Chain A
Amino acid sequence: MNDVHDQATRGRPSTDSGAPEALAKTGAARPYVGRSLHRREDEALLTGAGRYADDLPVPPGTLVAYVLRSPHPHALIRSIDSAAALDLPGVSAVITGQDIAKLSDPFLVAVKEPIPQWSLAVERVRYVGEPVAVIVASDRYVAEDAAELVEIDYEPLPVVIDPLAAVGPDAVLVHEAVGTNELSRRDFVYGDPDAAFASADRIVRLDVEFPRHSYTPMECFVVVAEYRRAEKSYDVLANFQGPFSAHPVMARALRIPGSKLRLRTPPDSGGSFGVKLSVFPFIVLMGLAARIVGRPVKWVEDRLEHLLAASTGPNRFTKVEAAVKADGEITGLRLDQLEDYGAFLRAPMPGPLYRMHGALTGAYSIRNLAVANRIVLTNKAPAALNRGFGGPQIYLALERIVQRIGVELGMDPLDVMRRNLIPAGSFPYRTAAGALYDSGDYPRALEIATGEGRLEDLRRRRDEARAQGRLYGIGYAAVVEPGMSNMGYLSTLLPLAARERSGPKNGAVSMATVNIDPLGAVSVTADTPAQGQGHITVLSQIVADQLGLTPDEITVNLEIDTQKDQWSIASGNYSCRFSPGTAVAAHLAAQKIRDKLARIGAKQLNVLPEDVELSGGKVRSRSNPDNALAFGRVAGTAHWSPIMLPEDVEPGLRETAVWSPPELEPPTSGDGINTSLTYGFVFDMCGIEVDPVTFQVRIDRYVSMHDAGALLNPMIAEGQIHGAFVQGVATALYEEFLYDEGGGFQTGTFADYVIPTVCEVPKLEIIHMESPSPFTPLGAKGLGEGNCMSVPVCVANAIADALGVTDVRLPVTPRRIHEMLMGAEPEVGAGDAS
């Protein structure tokens, strides 16, 4: 049951949320869900009335913190002399690792290895930008003055930057106590890969390297921390995004029960893309600073700090081998993945290496798979969440090898894809590594995307360009996009015996609450701090549908207060868990409260609860629509007149729903793991041209086909796709965190870390089809990350095609194109040999 449409023909125009009430009266089961309602968030944001963390008032007496960071990639801290800084008027404290080590413990890590990390460096620094001291002062200007007066005596140590060197012989050790930089290695075998390789007609091999980069939100980190001495508790406001699995990590570090760490999030957040998980060490640090100085402390990260060491996706080196038949069938796959997490393994790392585990074979029915997952540490900033989370890394390997198979077999890579796609009609489909793909029709998606002359047009463009001697190539990428991670996936990191000792981990608990006040006003809270994705709008659509109201009548507040609100470790705004997770919880909470209202209304309308419906602001009898009461009146009963309630109905109107889908099981004894609940599909194709004069790559045409199940708000969905697409282009052609061999950081400003502007961005053509997920009541899947996974490799494939090269190192900058294009330089006076 697929519903296909593209931008032009989609029959659901965007509308205002103050849409005609008539819609609610049509009796459609979902008058609002699925429609392109304009966002309820926008008016405040457009008029300068947003409330971002740095806009909110702070308690009187709040001091300002500045984080002093290491200029060395690896060094012993011999001494820190703060005397001159403390003499400066306005300076309250200079806090060092020694101070915080007395009051806190190192953060919990996912592997049992001695790699302690506190919120400040203790005794030794291991990357450029590692926090070494906190200066607390009356204002930021003074704090920065004081920072220049702190004298730190470092003893520089040898460094290791390259992950391959780090696992090589005689490598410098990032953590001596571990005895190696290769922190963990796990080998997985599914099916019989050895047999597949032994009987292959050909073995195709490729090494790929995925770069370090980050989708750097425009707003940096903000923390305001207070310590309540009487309660021995911390009260912190931060633009944290989750996952709230970091909350116990913070509480443990602070040596307090979780209930004593009150973490609140602001109403608005200036983007995150995974990055704002990494504010968590600073939540701890500023809490400690507030405790030490006895005053509230505010810290606003600046852009230099952010680029230097806020967060990065991990870089990954992958050796991939495919066993193929002469007709292009891939019978076996071997992956050796070496992922570089920088100097520490911070929770919830090594997520990117395991999040995609069930889906390692992507969109293909490859049954024999061998995987080595290796974690390496180097003297670079610690890696963490970044949109796509492991997807861009695996698809760079998988889709590049598909292109190489095409080249080596003399086949069109598109035919290699077609030969190996999971066949239609096989869903739910269990992959070799244990993912349970919920729904889809991949061959049809390819057919649609390449149809209507689109593929012919790309080929015509390539032929024409090549006939003129221009460098033009076509790339493809097929991506399975997971939504709502199984909290159990990370335990795949542990061998079976260790998993059994620690007990099963699985699921992905989502929560939302619907509340109705005595006059019938509806409000909603949920476990997702929003960062611009329009969650307020979508939740109001969902709840409005269940209660027979308009979205404007639903107030949604997504600020989170961990002392008062519903949350679980899975809470947060990450890994595409909104549509398959929180949205469902809100839907279920609204249903619960709807059923309660129906029971209350039934008594007053003198009908059976089954006969009651909520629509058009009324609670009415289905069989006799004139028999109706105003919504507010029925709701009021639960507050004002408990005596009028049916016997089994509790007073009050507040329902929390918890959504925990049964498909998210713990890893099996054979290391099979259903890493996510929903699996969308993306197929991209593009034509690019390499300019031999400027060495720049121009994306000529880009088509992206999406199947994300039912779309809750198509306008917002396309906004997510556009945003992810441009980020994917950034990864393909522009952005990379670079270190020199000595560990110095080279991309510390927006002049060096090059984020594309509108001038660098090509037009994107989006096509949708909808294969609703059978595993979620709304049929929706995640869709915000797919293009971060597909675009880098799609562009890389096109460049490989254009230049006839095997190795395409991302981002493909003019400098790299130049290296690929240019042979030996002509001798002086020999003219241009090209």
Chain B
Amino acid sequence: MKPRSFDYHRPKTIAEAVEALAQHGDDARILAGGQSLIPMLNFRLLEPVALIDIRHVPELDHIRLDGDMLEVGAAVTQNRLLAWPDLARHVPLLAVAMPWVGHFQTRNRGTVCGSIAHADPSSEIPLSLAMLEGEVVLQSPRGRRVLKASEFQTGMLSTARDSDEMIVAARFPTTFTGKAAFREVARRHGDYAIVAVGALRLPGGEALVGIGGASDRPVVRRFRLDGGDLGAELDALAWELETYEDLHASPRMRRDLVRRLAPTVISELRS
């Protein structure tokens, strides 16, 4: 379980990082926290020629409010964001979702943007970003572009990032300040979710519901908190999802988890 050889770059600026990336293209990987990347390297599932370590780029190490957005730089660890004192006020969904991310020890090194880049369908941060319709800021020698979460994550572990682009920040809207709830079912505390459900109370008696782990990317829907036939709507949603099979759950079980878990999470919004 030892990785293959690679070259190691430690840029000091975004420009240097982007330049190194441009040099190697698809053969390079950005190394931030490494909590998803390094296991894959140790398993020899990946073969990057170069790793570009962005932990020492001061420009990427920021948490800041920018208009209606909370911008989180690519070097910010998950625990740093979780410990940011104003998180619950500005992005209540992240405050309830992020404690489910891995463990204290992996959140200490794992980055917010790294989790988004990895695009695991059951990860909490991409799910939150999708629910909030947040943005991913990408930088390449060609310049900077900003993608909506739904444009960025294109499938299971795949994104719209071009090979010469690096994520420099993620932007979470601060306009969703209603009550938030989050729950997931996993084999163990801290494991990747079999199904994860986030819910946010919207003005006007609506709930925003996000489902992770059930299909190849997060799915977000709006439901009426009162009135509508939630059961039927969730059932319809469950059928719509292209649920998949793995060791821990059948497609049917994922549908049933959506049917059963979502109402309990949504009901937390009512209390």
Direct contact of A and B (CB under 8 A): yes
Could you list which residues of chain A lie within 8 angstroms of chain B, going by C-beta atoms? 140-141, 144-145, 148, 302-304, 692-696, 734, 738, 746-747, 749, 751-752, 754, 756-757, 759-760, 813-815, 818, 822, 825-826, 828-832, 834
A-B contact pairs, 30 of them (CB 8 A): A140-B2, A141-B2, A141-B5, A145-B5, A692-B260, A693-B260, A693-B261, A694-B260, A695-B185, A696-B185, A738-B247, A747-B247, A754-B188, A754-B191, A756-B188, A757-B188, A757-B190, A759-B189, A760-B188, A760-B189, A814-B185, A818-B250, A818-B252, A825-B255, A825-B256, A829-B232, A829-B235, A831-B231, A832-B231, A832-B259
- Minimum CB–CB distance from B140 to chain A (whole Å) comes to 32
CA distance A747 to B247 in the complex (A): 9
Segment 214-271 of B: residues with Cβ below 8 Å from A: 229, 231-232, 234-236, 239, 247-250, 252-253, 255-257, 259-261, 264
**A304, B43: Cβ atoms under 8 Å?**
yes
**A822, B252: Cβ atoms under 8 Å?**
yes
**Which residues from chain B contact A694 at a C-beta distance below 8 Å?**
185, 257, 260-261
**Given A747-B247, A752-B247, A822-B256, does the pair A814, B187 have CB atoms closer than 8 Å?**
yes
**Which residues from chain B contact A813 at a C-beta distance below 8 Å?**
187, 248
**A830, B185: Cβ atoms under 8 Å?**
no
B1: which of A303, A815, A831 is its contact (CB, 8 Å)?
A: A303
**A754, B189: Cβ atoms under 8 Å?**
no
In addition to A141-B5, A695-B253, A757-B188, 16 A-B residue pairs with Cβ atoms within 8 Å of each other are A692-B260, A746-B247, A747-B247, A749-B43, A751-B192, A754-B188, A757-B189, A814-B187, A814-B194, A815-B248, A815-B250, A818-B252, A822-B256, A825-B252, A829-B239, A831-B232
Nearest to B250 among chain A residues (CB) is: A815
CA distance A141 to B44 in the complex (A): 11
- Is B64's CB within 8 Å of the partner chain A? no
- Minimum CB–CB distance from A381 to chain B (whole Å) comes to 18
CA distance A331 to B265 in the complex (A): 53
- Minimum CB–CB distance from B255 to chain A (whole Å) comes to 7
**Which residues from chain A contact B249 at a C-beta distance below 8 Å?**
814-815, 818
- Is B4's CB within 8 Å of the partner chain A? yes
CA distance A191 to B190 in the complex (A): 53
CA distance A421 to B185 in the complex (A): 41
Nearest to B185 among chain A residues (CB) is: A694
- Minimum CB–CB distance from B236 to chain A (whole Å) comes to 6
A818: which of B187, B191, B256 is its contact (CB, 8 Å)?
A: B256
**A751, B191: Cβ atoms under 8 Å?**
yes
**Closest 10 A-B residue pairs measured CB to CB?**
A759-B189, A302-B1, A141-B2, A818-B253, A693-B260, A694-B185, A754-B187, A832-B259, A831-B231, A828-B239
**Which residues from chain A contact B259 at a C-beta distance below 8 Å?**
832
A734: which of B187, B236, B247, B256 is its contact (CB, 8 Å)?
A: B187
CA distance A304 to B256 in the complex (A): 33
**Which residues from chain B contact A757 at a C-beta distance below 8 Å?**
188-190
**Which residues from chain A contact B192 at a C-beta distance below 8 Å?**
751
**Which of A141, A302, A832 gathers most chain B CB within 10 Å?**
A832
**Which residues from chain B contact A144 at a C-beta distance below 8 Å?**
1-2, 44
**Which residues from chain B contact A814 at a C-beta distance below 8 Å?**
185, 187, 194, 248-249, 253
**B4, A145: Cβ atoms under 8 Å?**
yes
Nearest to B189 among chain A residues (CB) is: A759
- Minimum CB–CB distance from B256 to chain A (whole Å) comes to 6
**Which residues from chain A contact B231 at a C-beta distance below 8 Å?**
831-832
**Which residues from chain B contact A692 at a C-beta distance below 8 Å?**
260
- Minimum CB–CB distance from A304 to chain B (whole Å) comes to 6
Segment 96-114 of B: residues with Cβ below 8 Å from A: none
**Which residues from chain A contact B247 at a C-beta distance below 8 Å?**
738, 746-747, 752
**B188, A759: Cβ atoms under 8 Å?**
yes
**Which residues from chain A contact B239 at a C-beta distance below 8 Å?**
828-829
- Minimum CB–CB distance from B47 to chain A (whole Å) comes to 10
The interface residues of chain B, by DSSP majority, are classed as loop
Binary flags per residue of B181-223, CB closer than 8 Å to A gives 1, else 0: 0000101111110100000000000000000000000000000
- Minimum CB–CB distance from A696 to chain B (whole Å) comes to 7
CA distance A814 to B252 in the complex (A): 12
**Which residues from chain B contact A752 at a C-beta distance below 8 Å?**
247
CA distance A759 to B191 in the complex (A): 12
Binary flags per residue of B150-190, CB closer than 8 Å to A gives 1, else 0: 00000000000000000000000000000000000101111
- Minimum CB–CB distance from A828 to chain B (whole Å) comes to 5
CA distance A738 to B187 in the complex (A): 15
- Minimum CB–CB distance from A515 to chain B (whole Å) comes to 43
**Which residues from chain A contact B234 at a C-beta distance below 8 Å?**
832
CA distance A818 to B256 in the complex (A): 9
CA distance A754 to B186 in the complex (A): 11
**B1, A304: Cβ atoms under 8 Å?**
yes
Nearest to A304 among chain B residues (CB) is: B1
- Minimum CB–CB distance from B37 to chain A (whole Å) comes to 15
Nearest to B253 among chain A residues (CB) is: A818
CA distance A304 to B232 in the complex (A): 44
- Minimum CB–CB distance from A792 to chain B (whole Å) comes to 17
**Which of A140, A734, A826 gathers most chain B CB within 10 Å?**
A826
- Minimum CB–CB distance from A382 to chain B (whole Å) comes to 22
**Which residues from chain A contact B5 at a C-beta distance below 8 Å?**
141, 145
**Given A694-B185, A734-B187, does the pair A828, B236 have CB atoms closer than 8 Å?**
yes
**Which residues from chain A contact B236 at a C-beta distance below 8 Å?**
828-829
Nearest to A755 among chain B residues (CB) is: B188
Binary flags per residue of B1-13, CB closer than 8 Å to A gives 1, else 0: 1111100000000
**A826, B187: Cβ atoms under 8 Å?**
no
- Minimum CB–CB distance from A312 to chain B (whole Å) comes to 17
CA distance A145 to B239 in the complex (A): 46
- Minimum CB–CB distance from A615 to chain B (whole Å) comes to 51
**A826, B235: Cβ atoms under 8 Å?**
yes
Nearest to A694 among chain B residues (CB) is: B185
- Minimum CB–CB distance from A117 to chain B (whole Å) comes to 26
**Given A144-B44, A302-B1, does the pair A832, B235 have CB atoms closer than 8 Å?**
yes
- Minimum CB–CB distance from B26 to chain A (whole Å) comes to 20
**B188, A830: Cβ atoms under 8 Å?**
no
- Minimum CB–CB distance from B190 to chain A (whole Å) comes to 7
CA distance A813 to B186 in the complex (A): 11
CA distance A756 to B189 in the complex (A): 9
- Minimum CB–CB distance from A762 to chain B (whole Å) comes to 13
CA distance A757 to B191 in the complex (A): 11
CA distance A161 to B259 in the complex (A): 35
**Which residues from chain B contact A826 at a C-beta distance below 8 Å?**
235
CA distance A144 to B255 in the complex (A): 42
**Which residues from chain B contact A822 at a C-beta distance below 8 Å?**
252-253, 256
Nearest to A828 among chain B residues (CB) is: B239
**Which residues from chain B contact A734 at a C-beta distance below 8 Å?**
187-188
**Which residues from chain B contact A751 at a C-beta distance below 8 Å?**
191-192
CA distance A822 to B194 in the complex (A): 17
CA distance A832 to B238 in the complex (A): 10
Nearest to A142 among chain B residues (CB) is: B2
CA distance A828 to B247 in the complex (A): 25
- Minimum CB–CB distance from A602 to chain B (whole Å) comes to 62
**Which residues from chain B contact A760 at a C-beta distance below 8 Å?**
188-189
**Which residues from chain A contact B250 at a C-beta distance below 8 Å?**
815, 818
CA distance A7 to B190 in the complex (A): 32
CA distance A826 to B239 in the complex (A): 10
- Minimum CB–CB distance from A301 to chain B (whole Å) comes to 10
- Minimum CB–CB distance from A303 to chain B (whole Å) comes to 7
Nearest to B192 among chain A residues (CB) is: A751
**A759, B187: Cβ atoms under 8 Å?**
no
**A759, B190: Cβ atoms under 8 Å?**
yes
- Minimum CB–CB distance from A143 to chain B (whole Å) comes to 8
**Which residues from chain B contact A693 at a C-beta distance below 8 Å?**
260-261, 264
**Which residues from chain A contact B257 at a C-beta distance below 8 Å?**
694-695
**Given A738-B247, A828-B236, does the pair A815, B188 have CB atoms closer than 8 Å?**
no
- Minimum CB–CB distance from A300 to chain B (whole Å) comes to 10
- Minimum CB–CB distance from B78 to chain A (whole Å) comes to 18
CA distance A754 to B190 in the complex (A): 12
**Which of B5, B43, B189, B235 gathers most chain A CB within 10 Å?**
B235
